[in-house]
Structure 1
Amino acid sequence: MSPELQVALQLAIQAGEVLRKHHRTKLVIDYKKDEFDPVSVADRESDTLLRAGIAAAFPDDEILSEESPLLPESYAGRVWIIDPLDDTKGYIRGENTSGIMIGLLEAGKPKMGLVYLPFRNEYYYGEVGKGSYVSRLGTVEKLQVPSTTQIEGSRLVGRHVLAGDVRPIDEVVDELGFGSTIVEGCIGAKIGLIAEGKADAFIHTNLKAGKWDTLASEVILSEAGGASLVDIDGKPLDYTKSESGWNRYFMAAATPELLAKITIKLGEINEQTHSF
């Protein structure tokens, strides 16, 4: 592991203890945009710990966090992008599906990624040119995506659907013809399943997603041989854009061939339904 990845893992383990401390306790919940976008004291404490630790270890680097309003002055150098608690909704419900995601950009390009799942004692990690791995209960395995190229019979990673959280694009995704759906919480865990060959594709249907939701996982998936993440039109994600949010749906798949077929079929359905 590089010094950067070592620091990221040490901090993620500490932040995981913060999440455990508040898990299944009476939480004070605030909402950023609506009832489906909550933030808890655990989010904020984890954020403070991660940002302080990164700043202490790498004082010249910039930081972008989901829970901080501060934006990087530039993406020309090194920028850490963090999600202190992904799947806050599941965390509030007392589930064990939440994760901590830490990624590093260098000159605007994904460099390193870590997805830490504190309630499962496992984490995914990867560095450009060094491969990606999963550590589960102390055993480390190298990741390799499946060779899936067809939508039919493939495995989609989906979300927990909450009452009232209706998204028109969900109906479009249902029409694509995937063979089965695996339900998972943390985005990093969803894409991690593709990286280790247990799933084939993921379509994120929430327009509130940001760079913190994708960077770490993109490194892990790419280093496992997977296709780069793209938006709903098949365009690569641009981490140097000024806004922190994507304001677009995004997708991941095991192979470029599968990703291209999903993109084409989504476009064809949308031409008929105008769902997104």
Structure 2
Amino acid sequence: MTQVDHSVDTLLDLAMEAAELAGRLLRDGRPAGLGVAATKSSPVDVVTEMDIAAEKLITEYLIDRRPLDGYLGEEGGTTAEGSSGVRWVIDPLDGTVNYLYGLPSWAVSIGVEVYGERVAGVVEVPMRGETYYARRGHGAFVTGGPYGEDQVRLRCRPAAPLAEALVATGFNYVADVRAHQAEVAREVVPRVRDIRRGGSAAIDLCDVAAGRLDGYYERGLHPWDLAAGDIIAREAGALTGGRPGRPADGELTVAASPGVFEPLQALLEELGAWHD
């Protein structure tokens, strides 16, 4: 029987290498006339040829080195569950609409699970020149950007009253769902410092980890949207979850500094942010 390496350090190194390669492809290979290759949940939920190319690069890179692993990719680059107990959860281009329009807030996100437990994650943000990464129990870090090339340990912001919290959110691509989310945001705005909408769940979660946001919430995320960002936020000291008593999931994802998390989560529950 082939011995399978479950070393989290090894898995994290591979995730970082794959994310860096995909980020370079997306940054340097973006066609001048980039267009929509397909749509998903609605006509404005788009896939570009570069999403597909980046996922192909990542999965081929990892399969070549880890042929027994399982893979879950947003754009369909999925194998069977695999036999090693390791699964890679891949969003090759989080923030596709930003990328399509030439906005800088997009990222490559790769999460790593071992026997169903999230153990590591990487979020590569090429237009910032930043790489965020974490492994369970060992903290979260960033290199590049204003931090320089040395790894800097991430810490979420100190607790603030909800009324003084800067909170990010995102909106669904389905018009009726988006309209309800806008109503929720309208109720949230007067109860916090302000709202931001960046367009990349992975980056928003990393910005909570880095102390650039006090909190973030969104309904409708998929496993690949939060697999890496969730562990990075948690390892930076933030709390993450969904509805009260539940983990982050498609109904609701909340990430925030301690002290902000519970009142924000309670407010979102009161406002029905978890349903359409």
Query: Which category describes the TM-score, using the shorter chain as reference length?
Result: 0.7 to 0.9
Tell me the SS of whatever aligns to 1:102.
Answer: strand
Query: How do residues 208-227 of structure 1 correspond to structure 2 at under 5 angstroms?
Result: 209-227=221-239
Tell me the SS of whatever aligns to 1:214.
Answer: helix
Query: How do residues 172-183 of structure 1 correspond to structure 2 at under 5 angstroms?
Result: 172-176=184-188, 177-183=191-197
Give 1:263's aligned residue.
265
1:20 and 2:27 correspond: yes
Query: How do residues 45-64 of structure 1 correspond to structure 2 at under 5 angstroms?
Result: 45-64=53-72
Give 1:231's aligned residue.
242
The superposition leaves residues 74-95 of structure 1 with CA deviations (integer Å, 9 ceiling, x where unpaired) of 7992111010000001111111
Query: How do residues 1-276 of structure 1 correspond to structure 2 at under 5 angstroms?
Result: 2-23=9-30, 25-29=32-36, 30-68=38-76, 70=78, 72-73=80-81, 77-137=85-145, 138-148=149-159, 150-159=161-170, 166-176=178-188, 177-205=191-219, 207=220, 209-228=221-240, 230-237=241-248, 246-255=249-258, 257-270=259-272, 276=276
Assess if the C-alpha contact under 8 Å between 1:82 and 1:102 holds in 2.
yes
The TM-score normalised by the length of structure 1 is 0.85
Matches of 2:209 and 2:44 in 1, distance apart? Answer: 28
Assess if the C-alpha contact under 8 Å between 1:153 and 1:179 holds in 2.
yes
What's the offset of the Cα at 1:149?
5.0
Bigger Cα displacement from structure 2, 84-93 vs 27-36 = 27-36
Tell me the SS of whatever aligns to 2:162.
Answer: coil
Number of equivalenced pairs:
262
What's the offset of the Cα at 1:269?
3.0
User: Structure 2: which 5+ residue stretches go unaligned?
Assistant: 1-7
User: Structure 1: which 5+ residue stretches go unaligned?
Assistant: 238-245
Assess if the C-alpha contact under 8 Å between 1:110 and 1:218 holds in 2.
no
The superposition leaves residues 94-126 of structure 1 with CA deviations (integer Å, 9 ceiling, x where unpaired) of 111110000101121110000001122111100
Matches of 2:193 and 2:43 in 1, distance apart? Answer: 32
Matches of 2:114 and 2:47 in 1, distance apart? Answer: 29
Tell me the SS of whatever aligns to 2:195.
Answer: strand
What's the offset of the Cα at 1:262?
1.7
State the AA in 2 paired with 1:224.
A
Give 1:241's aligned residue.
none
Matches of 1:132 and 1:72 in 2, distance apart? Answer: 30
What's the offset of the Cα at 1:160?
8.3
The superposition leaves residues 117-142 of structure 1 with CA deviations (integer Å, 9 ceiling, x where unpaired) of 11221111000121101112424210
State the AA in 2 paired with 1:142.
R
State the AA in 2 paired with 1:192.
C
More helix by share: 2
Matches of 1:51 and 1:76 in 2, distance apart? Answer: 16
The TM-score normalised by the length of structure 2 is 0.85
Assess if the C-alpha contact under 8 Å between 2:268 and 2:274 holds in 1.
no
The superposition leaves residues 39-67 of structure 1 with CA deviations (integer Å, 9 ceiling, x where unpaired) of 01100000001001111122221110001
